[in-house]
Chain A
């Protein structure tokens, strides 16, 4: 992809010398950004960036952040490798043969219970009829 030309030259920036206050004795170039804006907005064209100025940089291994990933943990005995972020990304683990068998048995059991107890779905018309008749029977 053809790189987009940098746009720094278009920005309304001030050289250090224009911003040198009388009571600052350090050479600003020693400790301050070479160029910076002063309470003014940048040009229209500038893109979202992480940094452009000279900055003090530190490298660390990790940091504690109050993220949901750190607050929540997932424990699926059949799938110990599955993490909270997997589930958040919609990456559900593939069920094992045992899990598929167990699900089939559960569905079969539920069907049997529904047949034996004669459970029918509670529709709006059924609710209205029950209210009229003062009865819970369908």
Chain B
């Protein structure tokens, strides 16, 4: 299957200090932590859309995320994600993490029309019953585990109009009917300090896991 989009999201234990200037000011002037009841709203988040790179960087109080719409290979994705987070890390220390996720979208062009592809899914994945027979569309979701990480794997037939809506940077050369695969690979640790090595290894594991799932899915759907 072809990789179409990658999102890496770091969800923080507390809002980034960058978005809490009043608390920082209070703390540096008084040497005390601002009482809980006095804490202010963080400043609004920041989003950077980088057209030529088909890339979006989001830094908001709760999370830091990178979206890649140009994904020629896994190495490129990891390289760009790491470079972006390294750059953000030079600007602000990232708080402890409560969730770390890498989500990827994959497609495989179908040689049949949408209705036929839905029928193929019914035939291969489900036992015949009245609900299956009457359904006009199918989405299958599984939650899998991979060592300490979890993966939500969703797939199904998809038409071009829906596919375009799923992508942040839709290409003009997308097929009319595809098998769509969405792999959300994540870790929900006790608040954990983020390091470059950990982030690199996680992104690498997540994308390789997703690629393996995409190969498995295509093998299942090929009826072999």
Contact = CB atoms under 8 A, between A and B. Distances in A.
Please determine whether chains A and B interact with each other in the same assembly. yes
Interface stretch (B39-47, B124-132, B193-201, B212-220): B39-47
A51 B48 contact: no
Nearest to A48: B101
A49 interface: yes
A90 B158 CA distance: 29
Nearest to B5: A50
Contacts, number: 168
B152 A51 contact: no
Contacts of B76: 69, 85, 88-89
A89 B65 contact: no
Contacts of B139: 1-4
- Chain B CB within 10 Å, residue with most, of A31, A36, A62: A36
Interface residues of B, number: 66
A4 B43 contact: no
Interface stretch (A21-29, A121-129, A130-138): A21-29
A61 B162 contact: no
Counting contact residues on chain A (CB < 8 A from B), the size range is 35 or more
B87 interface: yes
Interface in B87-125: 87, 98-99, 101-103
B46 A48 contact: no
Contacts of A16: 41
A49 B73 contact: no
Contact of A50 (B7, B38, B84): B7
Contacts of B15: 36, 38-39
Interface in A3-17: 3-4, 16
14 contacts: A1-B138, A1-B155, A1-B157, A4-B154, A23-B22, A33-B44, A38-B15, A48-B103, A49-B9, A50-B9, A51-B58, A55-B45, A56-B44, A60-B51
Interface of B: 7-9, 11, 13-15, 22, 38-53, 55-56, 58, 60-63, 65-67, 72-73, 75-76, 79-80, 83-84, 86-87, 98-99, 101-103, 137-139, 141, 152, 154-158, 162, 168, 180, 184-186, 188
Q: Which 6 A-B pairs have the closest CB atoms?
A: A48-B101, A1-B156, A55-B45, A89-B73, A2-B139, A48-B103
